[in-house]
Chains A and B, each alone.
Chain A
Amino acid sequence: MLVKLIEKVGSKIIKLLESIGRIVIFFWTGVMNIFIAPVQFAKIIDHTWFIGSKSIFVIILTGLFTGMVLGLQGYYSLLQFGSEAALGSAVSLTLIRELGPVFTAIMVTARAGSAMAAEIGVMRISEQIDALKTMHINPVRFLFTPRIIASIISFPLLTALFNVVGIIGGFISGSIMLGLNRYVYMDTVIKSIQMQDISGGFYKSFVFAVVVTTTCCYRGFYTHLYSGFGARGVSLSTTNAVVQSCIFIFIFDYIITFFLV
Protein backbone atom coordinates (compact mmCIF):
# COMPACT_ATOMS: atom_id res chain seq x y z
CA MET A 1 0.00 0.00 0.00
CA LEU A 2 2.56 2.53 1.12
CA VAL A 3 5.07 1.25 -1.42
CA LYS A 4 2.50 1.64 -4.17
CA LEU A 5 1.79 5.20 -3.09
CA ILE A 6 5.47 6.08 -3.05
CA GLU A 7 5.89 4.48 -6.46
CA LYS A 8 3.03 6.50 -7.88
CA VAL A 9 4.18 9.80 -6.44
CA GLY A 10 7.74 9.03 -7.48
CA SER A 11 6.84 8.30 -11.08
CA LYS A 12 4.74 11.47 -11.23
CA ILE A 13 7.69 13.50 -9.97
CA ILE A 14 10.04 11.87 -12.47
CA LYS A 15 7.61 12.63 -15.29
CA LEU A 16 7.36 16.23 -14.13
CA LEU A 17 11.14 16.60 -14.01
CA GLU A 18 11.40 15.09 -17.47
CA SER A 19 8.88 17.57 -18.79
CA ILE A 20 10.72 20.48 -17.21
CA GLY A 21 13.98 19.29 -18.72
CA ARG A 22 12.36 18.88 -22.10
CA ILE A 23 10.81 22.33 -22.12
CA VAL A 24 14.07 23.96 -20.99
CA ILE A 25 16.02 22.24 -23.77
CA PHE A 26 13.33 23.12 -26.30
CA PHE A 27 13.32 26.75 -25.28
CA TRP A 28 17.08 27.01 -25.10
CA THR A 29 17.62 25.39 -28.52
CA GLY A 30 15.07 27.71 -30.07
CA VAL A 31 16.49 30.86 -28.53
CA MET A 32 20.15 30.01 -29.19
CA ASN A 33 19.32 29.44 -32.83
CA ILE A 34 18.18 33.04 -33.13
CA PHE A 35 21.86 33.95 -33.04
CA ILE A 36 23.12 31.22 -35.36
CA ALA A 37 23.56 32.17 -39.01
CA PRO A 38 21.98 32.07 -41.51
CA VAL A 39 19.02 34.14 -40.37
CA GLN A 40 15.78 32.59 -41.61
CA PHE A 41 14.44 35.82 -43.12
CA ALA A 42 11.77 34.37 -45.36
CA LYS A 43 10.23 32.34 -42.56
CA ILE A 44 10.39 35.22 -40.07
CA ILE A 45 8.57 37.52 -42.50
CA ASP A 46 6.02 34.82 -43.22
CA HIS A 47 5.24 34.25 -39.55
CA THR A 48 5.27 37.95 -38.71
CA TRP A 49 2.70 38.43 -41.40
CA PHE A 50 0.58 35.64 -39.97
CA ILE A 51 0.99 36.45 -36.26
CA GLY A 52 1.16 40.21 -36.63
CA SER A 53 -0.50 41.60 -39.74
CA LYS A 54 -3.37 39.17 -39.77
CA SER A 55 -4.18 39.99 -36.14
CA ILE A 56 -4.57 43.72 -36.78
CA PHE A 57 -8.31 43.62 -37.43
CA VAL A 58 -9.08 41.56 -34.31
CA ILE A 59 -6.90 43.82 -32.20
CA ILE A 60 -8.58 46.99 -33.50
CA LEU A 61 -12.01 45.54 -32.84
CA THR A 62 -11.30 44.29 -29.33
CA GLY A 63 -9.24 47.37 -28.48
CA LEU A 64 -12.04 49.68 -29.54
CA PHE A 65 -14.71 47.97 -27.49
CA THR A 66 -12.46 47.56 -24.47
CA GLY A 67 -11.73 51.28 -24.56
CA MET A 68 -15.40 52.14 -24.98
CA VAL A 69 -16.42 49.98 -22.04
CA LEU A 70 -13.68 51.50 -19.92
CA GLY A 71 -14.89 54.96 -20.90
CA LEU A 72 -18.44 54.12 -19.98
CA GLN A 73 -17.71 52.40 -16.69
CA GLY A 74 -15.02 54.87 -15.75
CA TYR A 75 -17.18 57.86 -16.45
CA TYR A 76 -19.99 56.82 -14.12
CA SER A 77 -17.65 55.65 -11.39
CA LEU A 78 -15.68 58.86 -11.49
CA LEU A 79 -18.86 60.91 -11.66
CA GLN A 80 -19.78 59.71 -8.15
CA PHE A 81 -16.70 61.48 -6.85
CA GLY A 82 -17.13 64.41 -9.18
CA SER A 83 -13.84 63.65 -10.85
CA GLU A 84 -14.99 62.59 -14.31
CA ALA A 85 -12.34 64.90 -15.69
CA ALA A 86 -9.79 62.22 -14.85
CA LEU A 87 -11.39 59.79 -17.29
CA GLY A 88 -8.60 60.11 -19.87
CA SER A 89 -6.01 59.28 -17.28
CA ALA A 90 -7.99 56.30 -15.93
CA VAL A 91 -8.63 54.81 -19.35
CA SER A 92 -5.14 55.26 -20.73
CA LEU A 93 -3.29 53.99 -17.66
CA THR A 94 -5.53 50.94 -17.32
CA LEU A 95 -4.93 50.12 -20.94
CA ILE A 96 -1.22 50.75 -21.11
CA ARG A 97 -0.31 49.09 -17.84
CA GLU A 98 -2.69 46.15 -17.79
CA LEU A 99 -5.37 45.51 -20.31
CA GLY A 100 -3.44 46.30 -23.45
CA PRO A 101 -0.67 43.71 -23.03
CA VAL A 102 -2.96 41.08 -21.46
CA PHE A 103 -5.87 41.33 -23.90
CA THR A 104 -3.57 41.52 -26.89
CA ALA A 105 -1.72 38.41 -25.75
CA ILE A 106 -4.99 36.55 -25.21
CA MET A 107 -6.36 37.53 -28.60
CA VAL A 108 -3.17 36.59 -30.39
CA THR A 109 -3.08 33.28 -28.51
CA ALA A 110 -6.59 32.54 -29.67
CA ARG A 111 -5.79 33.47 -33.26
CA ALA A 112 -2.16 32.54 -33.86
CA GLY A 113 -1.12 30.45 -30.86
CA SER A 114 -3.77 27.84 -31.55
CA ALA A 115 -2.65 27.73 -35.18
CA MET A 116 0.97 27.20 -34.13
CA ALA A 117 0.07 24.27 -31.90
CA ALA A 118 -2.18 22.69 -34.51
CA GLU A 119 0.22 23.16 -37.41
CA ILE A 120 3.23 21.79 -35.56
CA GLY A 121 1.08 19.03 -34.05
CA VAL A 122 0.00 17.85 -37.50
CA MET A 123 3.62 17.91 -38.59
CA ARG A 124 4.48 15.68 -35.67
CA ILE A 125 1.85 13.04 -36.27
CA SER A 126 2.42 12.91 -40.02
CA GLU A 127 6.17 12.34 -39.51
CA GLN A 128 7.11 15.70 -41.05
CA ILE A 129 9.22 16.50 -38.00
CA ASP A 130 11.00 13.15 -38.37
CA ALA A 131 11.53 13.99 -42.03
CA LEU A 132 13.27 17.23 -41.03
CA LYS A 133 15.58 15.23 -38.79
CA THR A 134 16.49 12.83 -41.59
CA MET A 135 17.47 15.85 -43.68
CA HIS A 136 19.72 17.11 -40.88
CA ILE A 137 17.48 20.11 -40.35
CA ASN A 138 17.04 20.96 -36.68
CA PRO A 139 13.24 20.94 -36.29
CA VAL A 140 13.28 23.30 -33.30
CA ARG A 141 15.32 25.82 -35.25
CA PHE A 142 13.14 25.34 -38.31
CA LEU A 143 9.76 25.59 -36.58
CA PHE A 144 10.15 27.39 -33.28
CA THR A 145 12.92 29.96 -33.82
CA PRO A 146 11.23 31.96 -36.62
CA ARG A 147 7.93 31.92 -34.75
CA ILE A 148 9.40 33.27 -31.53
CA ILE A 149 11.15 36.08 -33.40
CA ALA A 150 7.93 36.89 -35.23
CA SER A 151 6.05 36.98 -31.92
CA ILE A 152 8.63 39.21 -30.27
CA ILE A 153 8.23 41.62 -33.18
CA SER A 154 4.43 41.39 -33.31
CA PHE A 155 3.26 41.37 -29.68
CA PRO A 156 4.58 44.81 -28.64
CA LEU A 157 3.39 46.43 -31.88
CA LEU A 158 -0.07 44.91 -31.57
CA THR A 159 -0.18 45.96 -27.92
CA ALA A 160 0.63 49.53 -28.91
CA LEU A 161 -2.12 49.42 -31.50
CA PHE A 162 -4.56 48.03 -28.94
CA ASN A 163 -3.69 50.85 -26.54
CA VAL A 164 -4.11 53.62 -29.10
CA VAL A 165 -7.40 52.25 -30.40
CA GLY A 166 -8.57 51.70 -26.80
CA ILE A 167 -7.81 55.31 -25.86
CA ILE A 168 -9.81 56.41 -28.90
CA GLY A 169 -12.61 54.08 -27.74
CA GLY A 170 -12.61 55.77 -24.34
CA PHE A 171 -12.77 59.10 -26.10
CA ILE A 172 -15.77 57.96 -28.14
CA SER A 173 -17.83 56.89 -25.16
CA GLY A 174 -16.54 59.54 -22.72
CA SER A 175 -16.46 62.62 -24.86
CA ILE A 176 -18.57 62.02 -27.94
CA MET A 177 -21.38 60.04 -26.30
CA LEU A 178 -21.36 61.31 -22.69
CA GLY A 179 -20.23 64.84 -23.36
CA LEU A 180 -16.99 65.12 -21.42
CA ASN A 181 -14.89 68.02 -22.69
CA ARG A 182 -12.70 66.69 -25.52
CA TYR A 183 -9.64 68.74 -24.62
CA VAL A 184 -9.84 67.66 -21.02
CA TYR A 185 -9.91 63.99 -22.03
CA MET A 186 -6.94 64.30 -24.35
CA ASP A 187 -5.04 66.50 -21.95
CA THR A 188 -5.33 64.04 -19.06
CA VAL A 189 -4.30 61.20 -21.35
CA ILE A 190 -1.13 62.97 -22.39
CA LYS A 191 -0.28 64.33 -18.95
CA SER A 192 -0.80 61.12 -17.00
CA ILE A 193 1.21 58.70 -19.14
CA GLN A 194 4.79 58.30 -17.94
CA MET A 195 7.56 56.60 -19.83
CA GLN A 196 7.72 53.87 -17.18
CA ASP A 197 4.08 52.98 -17.85
CA ILE A 198 4.87 52.44 -21.49
CA SER A 199 8.04 50.49 -20.85
CA GLY A 200 6.26 48.37 -18.23
CA GLY A 201 3.62 47.45 -20.76
CA PHE A 202 6.35 46.75 -23.25
CA TYR A 203 8.13 44.34 -20.90
CA LYS A 204 4.88 42.53 -20.37
CA SER A 205 4.13 42.10 -24.04
CA PHE A 206 7.68 40.92 -24.63
CA VAL A 207 7.39 38.27 -21.91
CA PHE A 208 3.93 37.22 -23.13
CA ALA A 209 5.30 36.79 -26.65
CA VAL A 210 7.98 34.44 -25.36
CA VAL A 211 5.66 32.53 -23.02
CA VAL A 212 2.79 32.11 -25.46
CA THR A 213 4.96 31.06 -28.39
CA THR A 214 6.97 28.62 -26.32
CA THR A 215 3.86 27.05 -24.78
CA CYS A 216 2.03 26.68 -28.10
CA CYS A 217 5.00 25.42 -30.12
CA TYR A 218 6.05 23.05 -27.35
CA ARG A 219 2.56 21.56 -27.05
CA GLY A 220 2.39 21.00 -30.78
CA PHE A 221 5.91 19.66 -31.00
CA TYR A 222 5.35 17.01 -28.34
CA THR A 223 1.78 16.14 -29.29
CA HIS A 224 2.69 12.45 -29.40
CA LEU A 225 4.02 12.49 -25.83
CA TYR A 226 1.28 14.44 -24.10
CA SER A 227 -1.86 14.18 -26.18
CA GLY A 228 -1.64 11.02 -28.23
CA PHE A 229 -1.91 10.46 -31.95
CA GLY A 230 -4.27 11.39 -34.72
CA ALA A 231 -6.68 14.28 -35.13
CA ARG A 232 -7.76 13.95 -31.51
CA GLY A 233 -4.19 14.28 -30.30
CA VAL A 234 -3.73 17.48 -32.27
CA SER A 235 -7.02 18.94 -31.09
CA LEU A 236 -6.16 18.11 -27.50
CA SER A 237 -2.73 19.70 -27.70
CA THR A 238 -4.23 22.79 -29.35
CA THR A 239 -6.78 23.17 -26.55
CA ASN A 240 -4.11 22.63 -23.92
CA ALA A 241 -1.82 25.12 -25.61
CA VAL A 242 -4.45 27.86 -25.57
CA VAL A 243 -5.64 27.22 -22.01
CA GLN A 244 -2.12 27.00 -20.61
CA SER A 245 -0.97 30.07 -22.51
CA CYS A 246 -3.84 32.08 -21.02
CA ILE A 247 -3.08 30.85 -17.51
CA PHE A 248 0.59 31.73 -17.96
CA ILE A 249 -0.37 35.19 -19.23
CA PHE A 250 -2.21 35.94 -15.99
CA ILE A 251 0.49 34.46 -13.77
CA PHE A 252 3.29 36.33 -15.50
CA ASP A 253 1.21 39.50 -15.54
CA TYR A 254 1.01 39.36 -11.78
CA ILE A 255 4.71 38.58 -11.37
CA ILE A 256 5.85 41.41 -13.63
CA THR A 257 3.43 43.90 -12.06
CA PHE A 258 4.69 42.88 -8.64
CA PHE A 259 8.24 43.78 -9.64
CA LEU A 260 7.30 46.95 -11.49
CA VAL A 261 5.31 48.72 -8.79
Chain B
Amino acid sequence: MTVPLIQFIDIMKSFGTDHVLKGVNLSIYKGEIIAIIGKSGTGKSVLLKHIIGLVQQDSGQILINGVPLHQLSVEEKISFQKELSYMFQDNALFDFMTIYDNIALPLVENSNFPKNQVKEKVFTRMKQLGLTGTEKKFPAQLSGGMRKRVALARALVTDPKIVLFDEPTTGLDPVRKKDVHSMIQEYQEKFEFTAVIVTHDIPQIFDLVQRIAMLDDGIIKFEGSKEDIFDSHSKILDTFVGGEDV
Protein backbone atom coordinates (compact mmCIF):
# COMPACT_ATOMS: atom_id res chain seq x y z
CA MET B 1 0.00 0.00 0.00
CA THR B 2 1.46 3.36 -0.93
CA VAL B 3 1.28 6.10 1.61
CA PRO B 4 -1.16 8.81 0.52
CA LEU B 5 0.27 12.25 -0.20
CA ILE B 6 -2.52 13.87 1.74
CA GLN B 7 -4.80 12.01 4.11
CA PHE B 8 -7.75 13.31 6.06
CA ILE B 9 -8.56 11.42 9.22
CA ASP B 10 -11.85 12.15 10.95
CA ILE B 11 -11.78 15.82 10.12
CA MET B 12 -14.53 17.75 11.85
CA LYS B 13 -15.32 21.39 11.35
CA SER B 14 -18.17 23.54 12.57
CA PHE B 15 -18.98 27.19 12.13
CA GLY B 16 -20.91 28.05 15.27
CA THR B 17 -23.76 25.56 15.39
CA ASP B 18 -23.35 24.75 11.72
CA HIS B 19 -21.63 21.35 11.59
CA VAL B 20 -20.14 21.29 8.13
CA LEU B 21 -17.63 18.43 8.23
CA LYS B 22 -18.57 15.55 10.51
CA GLY B 23 -15.59 13.21 10.28
CA VAL B 24 -14.13 13.27 6.79
CA ASN B 25 -11.80 10.43 5.78
CA LEU B 26 -10.15 10.83 2.43
CA SER B 27 -6.85 9.90 0.79
CA ILE B 28 -5.20 11.74 -2.05
CA TYR B 29 -2.33 9.95 -3.79
CA LYS B 30 0.67 11.43 -5.46
CA GLY B 31 0.27 12.03 -9.18
CA GLU B 32 -3.46 11.42 -9.39
CA ILE B 33 -6.31 13.63 -10.39
CA ILE B 34 -9.17 13.26 -7.98
CA ALA B 35 -12.56 14.90 -8.22
CA ILE B 36 -14.61 15.89 -5.20
CA ILE B 37 -18.28 16.09 -5.98
CA GLY B 38 -21.28 16.81 -3.84
CA LYS B 39 -24.25 19.06 -3.42
CA SER B 40 -23.84 22.80 -3.19
CA GLY B 41 -23.16 23.87 0.38
CA THR B 42 -21.96 20.52 1.70
CA GLY B 43 -18.51 21.84 2.51
CA LYS B 44 -16.35 20.98 -0.49
CA SER B 45 -14.64 24.38 -0.47
CA VAL B 46 -14.17 24.18 3.29
CA LEU B 47 -12.56 20.75 2.88
CA LEU B 48 -10.18 22.02 0.23
CA LYS B 49 -9.18 25.01 2.37
CA HIS B 50 -8.03 22.67 5.13
CA ILE B 51 -5.23 21.42 2.89
CA ILE B 52 -3.77 24.85 2.26
CA GLY B 53 -4.26 25.99 5.85
CA LEU B 54 -6.89 28.66 5.31
CA VAL B 55 -9.24 26.74 7.60
CA GLN B 56 -8.21 24.81 10.71
CA GLN B 57 -10.06 21.66 11.68
CA ASP B 58 -11.78 21.43 15.07
CA SER B 59 -10.65 17.82 15.45
CA GLY B 60 -9.06 15.08 13.39
CA GLN B 61 -5.77 15.01 11.57
CA ILE B 62 -4.33 15.79 8.20
CA LEU B 63 -1.36 13.60 7.28
CA ILE B 64 1.19 14.67 4.71
CA ASN B 65 3.10 11.64 3.43
CA GLY B 66 1.99 9.86 6.57
CA VAL B 67 3.12 12.57 8.99
CA PRO B 68 0.57 14.75 10.81
CA LEU B 69 0.69 18.32 9.53
CA HIS B 70 1.26 19.76 12.99
CA GLN B 71 4.27 17.49 13.55
CA LEU B 72 6.10 18.79 10.50
CA SER B 73 8.94 21.18 11.18
CA VAL B 74 8.51 24.74 10.02
CA GLU B 75 10.79 24.16 7.03
CA GLU B 76 8.97 20.99 6.02
CA LYS B 77 5.66 22.76 6.28
CA ILE B 78 6.85 25.65 4.16
CA SER B 79 8.34 23.37 1.53
CA PHE B 80 5.07 21.41 1.38
CA GLN B 81 3.04 24.58 1.10
CA LYS B 82 5.32 25.92 -1.62
CA GLU B 83 4.37 22.95 -3.78
CA LEU B 84 0.71 23.83 -3.39
CA SER B 85 -1.38 26.12 -5.45
CA TYR B 86 -5.00 27.01 -4.86
CA MET B 87 -7.60 28.24 -7.26
CA PHE B 88 -10.46 30.01 -5.51
CA GLN B 89 -14.06 29.36 -6.42
CA ASP B 90 -14.66 33.11 -6.61
CA ASN B 91 -11.30 33.70 -8.29
CA ALA B 92 -10.02 36.16 -5.64
CA LEU B 93 -8.19 38.20 -8.27
CA PHE B 94 -6.51 41.41 -7.15
CA ASP B 95 -8.84 44.03 -8.48
CA PHE B 96 -6.31 46.87 -8.29
CA MET B 97 -3.82 45.04 -10.51
CA THR B 98 -3.82 44.38 -14.23
CA ILE B 99 -4.35 40.87 -15.55
CA TYR B 100 -0.67 40.58 -16.30
CA ASP B 101 0.34 41.63 -12.78
CA ASN B 102 -2.23 39.28 -11.28
CA ILE B 103 -0.83 36.26 -13.06
CA ALA B 104 2.79 37.31 -12.55
CA LEU B 105 2.43 38.06 -8.82
CA PRO B 106 3.33 34.63 -7.41
CA LEU B 107 6.42 34.56 -9.62
CA VAL B 108 7.46 38.12 -8.88
CA GLU B 109 7.06 37.85 -5.11
CA ASN B 110 8.58 34.44 -4.52
CA SER B 111 11.29 33.78 -7.03
CA ASN B 112 14.24 35.42 -8.62
CA PHE B 113 13.24 34.85 -12.20
CA PRO B 114 14.49 37.59 -14.48
CA LYS B 115 11.81 39.86 -15.90
CA ASN B 116 11.79 38.43 -19.40
CA GLN B 117 11.43 34.89 -18.07
CA VAL B 118 8.44 35.94 -15.97
CA LYS B 119 6.96 37.58 -19.02
CA GLU B 120 7.45 34.48 -21.10
CA LYS B 121 5.82 32.24 -18.50
CA VAL B 122 2.86 34.56 -18.05
CA PHE B 123 2.25 34.96 -21.76
CA THR B 124 2.46 31.21 -22.32
CA ARG B 125 -0.31 30.65 -19.76
CA MET B 126 -2.38 33.47 -21.15
CA LYS B 127 -2.12 32.06 -24.65
CA GLN B 128 -3.08 28.56 -23.50
CA LEU B 129 -6.18 29.94 -21.83
CA GLY B 130 -7.23 32.30 -24.59
CA LEU B 131 -6.43 35.44 -22.64
CA THR B 132 -4.05 37.09 -25.10
CA GLY B 133 -4.68 40.80 -25.42
CA THR B 134 -6.16 41.24 -21.96
CA GLU B 135 -2.88 41.80 -20.11
CA LYS B 136 -3.40 45.53 -19.57
CA LYS B 137 -7.03 45.22 -18.48
CA PHE B 138 -8.31 44.97 -14.91
CA PRO B 139 -10.33 42.02 -13.60
CA ALA B 140 -13.53 44.08 -13.46
CA GLN B 141 -13.25 44.68 -17.20
CA LEU B 142 -13.39 40.98 -18.06
CA SER B 143 -16.29 38.59 -18.34
CA GLY B 144 -16.92 36.04 -15.60
CA GLY B 145 -15.52 33.18 -17.65
CA MET B 146 -12.41 35.15 -18.50
CA ARG B 147 -11.80 35.94 -14.86
CA LYS B 148 -12.07 32.26 -14.09
CA ARG B 149 -9.38 31.57 -16.66
CA VAL B 150 -7.17 34.29 -15.20
CA ALA B 151 -7.49 32.60 -11.81
CA LEU B 152 -6.55 29.31 -13.47
CA ALA B 153 -3.52 30.90 -15.14
CA ARG B 154 -2.42 32.37 -11.82
CA ALA B 155 -2.72 29.01 -10.08
CA LEU B 156 -0.61 27.25 -12.72
CA VAL B 157 2.02 29.87 -13.50
CA THR B 158 4.45 28.62 -10.86
CA ASP B 159 4.31 25.03 -12.18
CA PRO B 160 3.08 23.73 -8.81
CA LYS B 161 3.27 20.06 -7.86
CA ILE B 162 -0.13 19.95 -6.17
CA VAL B 163 -3.03 22.04 -7.39
CA LEU B 164 -6.34 22.44 -5.62
CA PHE B 165 -9.01 23.58 -8.06
CA ASP B 166 -12.28 24.86 -6.64
CA GLU B 167 -14.72 24.61 -9.53
CA PRO B 168 -12.33 25.52 -12.33
CA THR B 169 -14.90 25.30 -15.10
CA THR B 170 -18.10 26.63 -13.55
CA GLY B 171 -19.49 29.34 -15.79
CA LEU B 172 -17.46 28.43 -18.85
CA ASP B 173 -18.91 27.48 -22.22
CA PRO B 174 -18.60 23.83 -23.32
CA VAL B 175 -15.62 24.53 -25.57
CA ARG B 176 -13.66 26.35 -22.86
CA LYS B 177 -14.62 23.67 -20.38
CA LYS B 178 -13.05 21.07 -22.62
CA ASP B 179 -10.00 23.27 -23.09
CA VAL B 180 -9.53 23.57 -19.37
CA HIS B 181 -9.94 19.85 -18.86
CA SER B 182 -7.46 18.98 -21.57
CA MET B 183 -5.05 21.55 -20.21
CA ILE B 184 -5.18 19.95 -16.77
CA GLN B 185 -4.65 16.55 -18.39
CA GLU B 186 -1.73 17.77 -20.46
CA TYR B 187 -0.23 19.23 -17.34
CA GLN B 188 -0.49 16.01 -15.45
CA GLU B 189 1.21 14.10 -18.23
CA LYS B 190 3.98 16.67 -18.40
CA PHE B 191 4.63 17.40 -14.73
CA GLU B 192 2.95 14.47 -13.03
CA PHE B 193 1.28 16.85 -10.67
CA THR B 194 -1.43 15.99 -8.22
CA ALA B 195 -4.75 17.68 -8.75
CA VAL B 196 -7.79 17.88 -6.53
CA ILE B 197 -10.76 19.21 -8.44
CA VAL B 198 -14.01 20.26 -6.83
CA THR B 199 -16.51 20.18 -9.62
CA HIS B 200 -20.09 19.86 -10.73
CA ASP B 201 -19.10 18.74 -14.24
CA ILE B 202 -20.69 15.35 -14.23
CA PRO B 203 -20.15 13.28 -16.34
CA GLN B 204 -17.47 15.20 -18.32
CA ILE B 205 -15.07 15.08 -15.38
CA PHE B 206 -15.02 11.27 -15.52
CA ASP B 207 -12.82 11.41 -18.63
CA LEU B 208 -10.21 13.40 -16.79
CA VAL B 209 -9.91 11.98 -13.30
CA GLN B 210 -8.61 8.71 -11.91
CA ARG B 211 -10.67 8.76 -8.76
CA ILE B 212 -13.76 10.38 -7.38
CA ALA B 213 -14.91 11.19 -3.88
CA MET B 214 -18.35 12.28 -2.95
CA LEU B 215 -18.98 14.51 0.02
CA ASP B 216 -22.46 14.42 1.42
CA ASP B 217 -23.89 15.34 4.78
CA GLY B 218 -20.45 16.11 6.21
CA ILE B 219 -18.76 12.83 5.37
CA ILE B 220 -17.24 11.12 2.34
CA LYS B 221 -20.02 8.83 1.22
CA PHE B 222 -18.05 7.36 -1.63
CA GLU B 223 -14.40 7.20 -2.63
CA GLY B 224 -13.08 5.16 -5.52
CA SER B 225 -12.20 4.84 -9.16
CA LYS B 226 -14.50 5.55 -12.06
CA GLU B 227 -15.11 1.86 -12.52
CA ASP B 228 -16.15 1.57 -8.90
CA ILE B 229 -18.84 4.14 -9.47
CA PHE B 230 -20.55 2.10 -12.09
CA ASP B 231 -20.12 -1.05 -10.05
CA SER B 232 -21.23 0.47 -6.82
CA HIS B 233 -24.79 0.31 -5.79
CA SER B 234 -24.67 3.43 -3.74
CA LYS B 235 -28.08 4.94 -4.16
CA ILE B 236 -26.94 8.39 -3.18
CA LEU B 237 -24.16 8.35 -5.72
CA ASP B 238 -26.38 7.03 -8.50
CA THR B 239 -29.04 9.58 -7.92
CA PHE B 240 -26.53 12.39 -7.59
CA VAL B 241 -24.65 11.44 -10.73
CA GLY B 242 -27.95 10.91 -12.44
CA GLY B 243 -28.95 14.41 -11.42
CA GLU B 244 -31.95 13.50 -9.33
CA ASP B 245 -32.64 14.94 -5.94
CA VAL B 246 -31.02 12.93 -3.20
Partner of A135, one of B78, B96, B106: B106
If A122-B95, A128-B92 touch, does A133 touch B54 (CB 8 Å cutoff)?
yes
Asked if B96 contacts A119 (CB within 8 A), the reply is: yes
In whole angstroms, what is the CA distance A129 to B121 when docked? 24
Most chain B CB neighbours (cut-off 10 Å) among A122, A133, A136: A136
- Contact yes or no, A134 B93, CB < 8 A: no
Q: Which residues of B contact A127 (CB under 8 A)?
A: 88, 90, 92
Interface segment among B79-87, B173-181, B186-194, B218-226: the answer is B79-87
Interface string of B222-244 (1 = CB under 8 A from A): 00000000000000000000000
Tell me whether B95 and A137 are in contact (CB under 8 A).
Answer: no
Question: Do B54 and A134 touch (CB < 8 A)?
Answer: yes
Please measure, in the bound complex, the distance between the C-alpha atom of A142 and the C-alpha atom of B53, giving whole angstroms: 19
Q: Residue A126 contacts which of B52, B54, B85, B92 (CB distance < 8 angstroms)? A: B92
Q: How far is the CA of A136 from the CA of B106 in the complex (A)?
A: 8
The answer to whether A18 has its CB under 8 Å from any CB of chain B is: no
**Does A187 count as interface, using CB distance less than 8 angstroms?**
no
Tell whether, in the assembled complex, residue B54 and residue A135 are in contact, meaning their CB atoms are under 8 Å apart: no
Q: Chain A interface secondary structure, helix, strand, loop or mixed?
A: helix
- Which of A127, A131, A136, A137 has its CB near the most chain B CB atoms (within 10 A)? A131
A137 and B86 contact, CB distance less than 8 A: no
Residue contact A134 to B84, C-beta cutoff 8 Å:
yes
Contact A135 B88 (CB under 8 A): no
Contact B109 A135 (CB under 8 A): yes
Whether B81 lies near A130 (C-beta < 8 A) is: no
Separation in Å of the A158 CB from the closest CB of chain B?
A: 23
**Interface residue? B110 (CB, 8 A):** yes
B105 within 8 A of A: yes
What residues on B are CB-neighbors of A142 within 8 Å?
109
Q: Does B113 contact A (CB under 8 A)?
A: no
**Inter-chain contacts of A123 with B (CB < 8 A):** 94
A131 to chain B: which residues have CB within 8 Å?
A: 86, 88, 92-94
Pick the contact of B82 from A126, A128, A136 — CB < 8 Å? A136
Q: How many angstroms from the CA of A128 to the CA of B84 in the assembled complex? A: 17
Contact B110 A137 (CB under 8 A): yes
User: A160-216: which residues lie under 8 A (CB-CB) from chain B?
Assistant: none
Please determine whether A135 and B92 come into contact, CB atoms closer than 8 angstroms. no
A133 to B85, CA, bound (A): 11
B173 to nearest A CB, angstroms?
24
With A and B bound together, what is the CA distance between A119 and B93 in angstroms?
14
Bound state CA distance, A254 and B58, in angstroms? 46
A134 touches B82 (CB 8 A): no
CB distance from A81 to the nearest CB of B (A): 56
> What's the Cα separation between A130 and B90 when bound, in Å?
12
Shortest CB-to-CB span from B86 to chain A, Å, is 4
Pairwise interchain contact B105-A135, C-beta atoms closer than 8 A: yes
Within residues 101 to 135 of chain A, which ones have a CB less than 8 A from any CB in chain B?
Answer: 119, 122-123, 126-128, 130-131, 133-135
CA gap between A172 and B216 in the complex, in Å: 76
Bound: A119/B95 CA distance, A: 10
Which chain A residues border B84 with CB–CB below 8 Å?
134
Q: How far is the CB of A143 from chain B (nearest CB, A)?
A: 11
A sample of 22 inter-chain contacts (CB < 8 A) reads: A122-B95, A126-B90, A126-B95, A127-B90, A127-B92, A128-B92, A128-B94, A130-B88, A131-B86, A131-B94, A133-B53, A134-B52, A134-B54, A134-B84, A135-B110, A136-B82, A136-B110, A137-B105, A137-B106, A137-B109, A137-B110, A142-B109
A-B pairs, top 4 by smallest CB distance, nearest first, are A131-B92, A127-B92, A134-B86, A135-B106
Which residues of A line the B interface, CB within 8 A?
A: 119, 122-123, 126-128, 130-131, 133-137, 142
A-B contact sample (20 more), CB < 8 A, given A126-B92, A135-B110, A136-B78: A119-B96, A122-B95, A127-B92, A128-B92, A128-B93, A130-B54, A130-B88, A130-B92, A131-B93, A133-B53, A134-B54, A134-B85, A135-B105, A135-B106, A135-B109, A136-B82, A136-B109, A136-B110, A137-B106, A137-B110
